[in-house]
Structure 1
Amino acid sequence: MAPEKIIIDTDPGVDDILALLLALSASAEEIELLLISLTFGNIDVENCLRNTVSLFHVLEKELAWRKQTGRPEGYGSLRRYKPVVAVGADRPLEDQILMADYFHGADGLGGVHTKAPHFTPAELSRHLFHSPSADSAPIPPDSPTPLPHEALFTPSRSPAHLAILEQLKRHPPHTVTIIAIGPLTNLALAAAHDPETFLLAKEVVIMSGTIELEGNVTPTAEFNAYADAVAAARVFALTSPEPTRTMPPGRSLASYPPVLSQRLNLTIFPLDITTMHLLNEGEFDALTAPLREAGSPLALWASVFIHATFRKMESLYVAAAGGEGVKRVQDVDISLHDPLCVWYMITKAVSGWKGVEGRDVRVDATGQWTRGMYVVDRRTRKKATEEEVQGNEEVQGDCDGWLHPRWGNRVRQMVESPDRDGFGRAMIQRIFL
């Protein structure tokens, strides 16, 4: 069976790195990672690049250590394929920039570059990548020889949104899935630049938003949706039979053509499902402590930022309990928001994945208090039929086309996975063992 061809659009903080590791540790028959496209989000895009290059630097050391110690190399996808890495958006389309460094640390990985500097490469070869501030920055004539970890990926001089379109053009239509686990700015830029090519994606899978749960940056908004609500609204509009009906009012990018050949196949993983998929600290330590003692570079590196995240969560638990709180380290969990989207791509053929099809989910891009909110229609009225409406007239008593058969967005909301309780363990086993 052919592997799933994927692009991962990401803002590498802790759970993003785990998502990338999960994809790269897949077998060559499961996943072919074509492109890692970077966006601002958890941290600024320069730190996103440093974290990504460091990831490959550590993986180069890990593969050498596994070979030297006679362990199974694993990472079949990484060893067979060579993903492109492209630098993308450094700010949202219109909103004020927001980053989550308050949670992930200033470097996005809990201070790993200062706590364990030997895992950060001295040379990031920044000149080999697109620069958001200098689109045509020249390559120095005496460029250094590529470092060993650079053999594992290909730097891109194209901005991320163009690199996404390049991959979609390079492969047969509807064979490449885009997994977006950060703000959707790169995707919105790609769709605005060439909407018909963007619609050649087999599926766009996003970790974004919340439906029934409270938000994690405002009472109603999840971070990725809030960080660039205009971009999210523009991507969602491509799922509508009439995209102009749900386009946000922003003017940063041109409108889509009035007629498009097809609708976007969009699958959303909101907080409602991702929050419930957990990694427990006690279980993480039980599985990885022997590897750290044996000298695994990957286990030693990852434990720095994963434990930093456990400590952050512990402080939040204690604060929520009014000073009382977690007494045992085994009680601390972190949600695996981003890795769940990759797990879906690896195991989507397994029974147990459940989604709600055709939900009209719209993103509020301009609300004073509701920016980034996922708005759904909770009324009990049924949608009108084609026979009950004439042309583009609204349904009587309904504004903005919530009950109209052709208006509104059409997304798939994932609500259940095959093994919620076992996912954290399965992920750690794949990545580290």
Structure 2
Amino acid sequence: MAPKNRIIIDTDPGVDDVLALLLALSASPEELEVAMISVTYGNVPLQSVLRNVVALFHVLEKEMAWRTSTGNSKGSYGALITYKPIVAIGADHPLEEEELVADYFHGTDGLHGVHDKHPHLSPADTWRTLFDDTASSPVDPPSFSKYFTPSKGPAHKEMLRILREEPEDTVTIVAVGPLTNVALAASEDPETFLRVKELVVMGGAVECEGNVTPVAEFNCMADAVAAARVYALTSPTPSSTMPPVFQGKSFLPAYPARLSRRLNLTLFPLDITTPHELYKKVFNDKIQPLLEQGSPLAQWTEIFLNGTFNKIDSMLGEGHNAGLSLHDPLCIWYMLTQDNPAWKPVPHLEDIRVETCGQWTRGMHIIDKRGRAKPAVEDSTVRTNPEDPLDAVTLDQIPGDDQGWLHPKKGNRIRRMVSSPGRDIFAGVLLDRIFT
């Protein structure tokens, strides 16, 4: 049975990351296969987010046993049961910046203390040896969980292995954390990385305010250099938007001058994700009957989601009725329903660039709004060797355009999503898929 989509989820769980993973694993096997979960630092440090991923599978194992015992397992979590994703550990810090975390919002463990409040739903500490390539593990990795396979190799190398072994344009990467793992894979073997069908990124703020600074969104701010490097692969000339080298040094090398293709990147910035909200009453109305019946998944999610709702109330004050923005789950909904014509991007690919040096603007997503048209490619002064169309001999400057905003071969080419099948229905879809 061939799945509709094979995906790698690069993630830093995190409350909405966990909801995104649950949505993906609750899909039918015809809709989706999660080939790998690539774990990165982000909302909290790496070992905490890794624990949250392992705990998620532990809870799902208990949930499926409970559903079976109550006769409610039929048709649920088909992707979880049919496939067995790899879980691999990635970067524990950004490429060049200091680590930025969001434990002020997600709690010190990333899930508002759920491990302390429900220790029976947390995995035994032997999980820590599963990913340690220097330890002789007392646990047989394949038997630790029937729902995932631990990898002792780095996440970015596993990412490249899957892309190398699978046919071109059959695997999509859904990146819902800082882009460090993705940047490492792209740097190590750009041609293999470009075999990816699509890179779906939750990140950035384009026409709206940021959520960690006035102009920057968390994932991009957490590793702006990684984001800039990844976005550059969408350009006909990646060097035109690569981040500048700092004091003559760069952690990763430049890309080759010639690449066989451009990266197909679809961006989900705060502009579209923030309005897709889950409200406290809607969530609690859904899970209350399940709590009374003894659902382990309802018990687990109730702790960190109500912890999040309480945190939002404390930040905004009573009376705001603010919901939890479903940033990361929206990217998974896109993977499940991308044939729906209600998904609408900006009509043209956009030259969106990431600021990596600004004192106040690091992580900002920048578009040229000056209204000056780019010359048509056929009218440009770009000259190529007819024996090798990929070999750009010269890329002449356009007067007054030192940064290449008007040059037809410079700048990024990003597909930015602006409309979904329904911001008012998504929370209900999410809850039904996860809990029904």
Q: CA deviation at 1:245?
A: 0.7
Give the counterpart letter for 1:355 in structure 2: P
**1:384, 1:395 within 8 Å by CA — same for their partners in 2?**
no
- In 1, the alpha carbon distance for the partners of 2:334 and 2:10 equals 16
Question: Given the two structures, how large is their TM-score scaled by the length of structure 1?
Answer: 0.94
Q: How far 1:404 moved relative to its partner?
A: 1.1
Return the offset for 1:72.
3.2
Per the TM alignment, residue 147 of structure 1 is displaced from its structure 2 partner at its CA by 8.7
1:34, 1:364 → 2: CA distance? 32
User: Which of 317, 326, 337 is matched with 2:319 structurally?
Assistant: 326
CA–CA distance in structure 2, aligned partners of residues 8 and 312 of structure 1: 27
388, 393, 398: which one pairs with 1:395?
A: 398
CA deviations 1:221-240 (Å, max 9, x no partner) are: 00000000000000000000
- State the shift of 1:387 in Å: 4.0
1:414 to 410, 414, 417: 417
Dislocated runs of 4+, deviation >4 Å: 145-149
User: Which residue number in structure 1 is paired with residue 164 of structure 2?
Assistant: 169
**How many residues get paired?**
417
Residue in 2 that maps onto 1:133: none
- Distance of 1:338 and 1:432 partners within structure 2: 18
Q: 1:365-398: CA deviations, max 9, x gaps?
A: 1111111110111111111122443232222332
Query: Aligned to 1:267, what secondary structure does the other structure show?
Result: strand
Give the Cα–Cα distance (whole angstroms) in 2 for the partners of residues 384 and 317 of structure 1. Answer: 47
Matched, 1:231 2:226: yes
1:139 is matched with 136
Tell whether the 8 Å contact from 1:240 to 1:410 is kept in structure 2 after alignment.
yes
Whole-angstrom CA distance in 1 between matches of 2:370 and 2:145: 54
Percent identity between the two aligned chains: 55
Which residue pairs with 2:390 in the alignment? none
Structure 1 residues 32-431: aligned runs within 5 Å: 32-73=33-74, 74-130=76-132, 136-140=133-137, 143-145=138-140, 150-250=145-245, 251-318=250-317, 325-326=318-319, 331-356=321-346, 357-391=348-382, 392-431=395-434
For 2:386, the equivalent position in structure 1 comes to none
Q: Which amino acid aligns with 2:407?
A: H
Q: The residue matched to 2:146 in structure 1 has which SS? A: helix
Question: Secondary structure in 1 aligned to 2:357?
Answer: coil
Q: What do the CA deviations read for 1:205-247 (whole angstroms, capped 9, x no partner)? A: 0100000111111111000000000000000000000001111
SS in 2 for 1:179: strand
Superposition deviation, residue 402 in structure 1: 0.7
CA distance in 2, matches of 1:88, 1:152: 20
Separation in 2 of the partners of 1:182 and 1:387?
39
User: What is the alpha-carbon distance in structure 2 between the residues aligned to residue 160 and residue 33 of structure 1?
Assistant: 14
Structure 1: unaligned runs, 5 residues or longer: 131-135, 319-324
**Deviation per residue, 1:391-432 (Å, 9 max, x gap):** 322223323111111100000000000111100011000001
TM-score relative to the length of structure 2: 0.93
Contact 1:385 1:404 in 2 (8 A): no
Amino acid in the other structure paired with 1:270: P
Classify 1:353/1:104 alpha carbon distance in 2 versus 1 (closer, same or farther; 3 Å). same
Confirm or deny: 8 A CA contact 1:59 1:149 kept in the other structure: no
Contact preservation (8 Å) 1:24, 1:77 = yes
Deviations along 1:322-375, one digit per CA (max 9) or x if unpaired, are xxx328xxx241100000000000000112000023100001111111111101
**CA contact under 8 A between 2:54 and 2:127: conserved in structure 1?**
no
